[in-house]
Amino acid sequence: AWRSQGGPSWSQERTLVAVKPDGVQRRLVGTVIQRFERRGFKLVGIKMLQAPESILAEHYQDLQKKPFYPALISYMSSGPVVAMVWEGHNVVHVSRAMIGHTDSTEAAPGTIRGDFSIHISRNVIHASDSVEEAQREIQLWFQRSELVNWVDSGHQASCYPS
């Protein structure tokens, strides 16, 4: 395997990533998955859904007083989203770097928002912004039974037949 499991500095963290309705409409689901896979993260949950307002209200509970909140809920309800749970070392922090600044105008080229979005109100993707938020959001969007604890085959002895 190109990396080893375990060791004191290897965290197995999880985060919630969602391709927002504009990302689905623009056929960016595959691109997003490819970027996370290539970075080295492990997909442990994925589903497409028309997000119910009950989930969106909880998901964005901290933004309910913001002037753009109604527009945000309407945007997030405008079509299906693809929700995913990704696992790996420091995945919360690294995912935020990969998606880029919330305001697409400030998002660096090379980031998902910096490559595929020009406006904060249609910024293609969500990723949890802290480990605590990630746990809350994963529980909100996924049942425990929808997450798959699969083992990297590169970590199994069967990969190295004698």
Catalytic residue annotation: 126
Nearest approach in angstroms of CB 116 to Mg ion is 18
Q: Toward ligand GDP, which CB reaches closer, 132 or 152?
A: 132
Q: Is 120 in the site for Mg ion (CB under 5 A)?
A: no
Establish whether 102 is an annotated binding residue: yes
Instruction: Using DSSP bridges, classify how beta strands 125-127 and 81-88 pair: parallel, antiparallel or unpaired.
Output: unpaired
Instruction: Determine whether the annotation assigns residue 105 to a binding site.
Output: no
**Binding footprint of ligand GDP on the chain (CB under 6 A):** 63, 68, 71-72, 102, 120-121, 123, 126, 129
- CB of 72 vs ligand GDP, minimal distance in Å: 5
Contact 17, 37 (CB under 8 A): no
Q: Which is nearer to Mg ion, 34 or 105 (CB)?
A: 105
Candidate residues 87, 115, 129, 146; the one interacting with Mg ion per rule CB under 5 A: 129
87 near Mg ion, judged by CB under 5 A: no
Query: Alpha carbon of 143 to those of 48, 116, 128: distances in Å?
Result: 14, 30, 17
Question: Quick one: which of 17, 7, 2 has its CA closest to 96?
Answer: 17
Q: Consult the annotation and say whether 113 binds a ligand.
A: yes
Shortest Å, Cβ 135 to ligand GDP: 16
Binding-site residues for ATP, please? 20, 68, 96, 102, 113, 123
Using CB under 5 A, list all residues that contact Mg ion.
Answer: 129
Binding-site residues, please? 20, 68, 96, 102, 113, 123
